Structure 1
């Protein structure tokens, strides 16, 4: 597979570095600038999940596309939480892999380096988010979701657009995965502290919008019924 992918990517105009294990991949990253990675999960000695985790721990933010035959929702979530940006299950057509790499590279190169919405600051170069200077611990996928919604602050972003932009497509992705990630992000974005919230446009999508001061205070203060 590696030989076939290298041949195809060479034909697409990429300068490809191909290795057959995770340790050699880390060495290649140390010695060469890399714009994107396609990583097989079943690598000898170190799984693709572990390789993704180590790449992110080193501070590198290039897009990572995971390749695997494991297509359960739990496996996809684990891979994305390990630091991958997209997930492609085997068997796949080379044309789809090439299209997903192009989408990942476009997304990585686009957008403003820094976004500010409410009290939330998003640094696209460092892949970090903070509120009043205090970092918010988002996973790579959560960060991508927040950044996309913040880029369109005040506007509805459709479910299909989110799945296309962040997961590389919506036809083969369980939409419950998106709902799970929105739930994760909401728990980390305290509306009273950030001045923003994510609202659901039922059946259509999501919107990140400012919270008025009195609304934020109301959300922070439990009602009399809740206190009972």
Structure 2
């Protein structure tokens, strides 16, 4: 913060000097820069909350850098009825992590593969994805949020990544016939990745190697 000093002649009565000193204090309190620490503190608090949320979402996740490029799949549990409630992207040593938080019952299944073009399920419309490559992740065992009493994801869609590593953005493209379609934009066309689920709370995690 910049300090301002006022140079004044001191040839004045003690009463006048006291009055000027009091006026100086009043002026200092009215400086607009006094609000800067409050703004900074609020921003820092938001960052801490965001970091804490990401740390909690990653609880129990793997730490090894993924090495496989082949398509990956897993069947959902028979009772699965899930909906995406949040999406997060975090950066780690050697890989980026995409986390889908899920509400509902059961365990999700998935089908993940690198695709050349993103085509929306049901409509057949082409979806534009920011990046040089696309990792499509289909979350099986999904339901339309309103049918299972779940508040749907309401954040940015696509979720764009600031200062991206390998993951540039994540899109949720809707639910069709029990599957939520999601698309992960990549900064390069071919990547190694690993998909797995976590419980308490239910999450689907996608680790993508740098």
**Range of TM-score over shorter length:** under 0.3
Q: Normalising by structure 2, what TM-score?
A: 0.24
Q: Which has the higher helix share?
A: 1
Give the TM-score normalised by the residue count of structure 1: 0.22
Larger Rg: 2
Structure with the bigger RCO (C-alpha within 8 Å, sep 6+) is: 2
Is the strand fraction higher in 1 or 2?
2
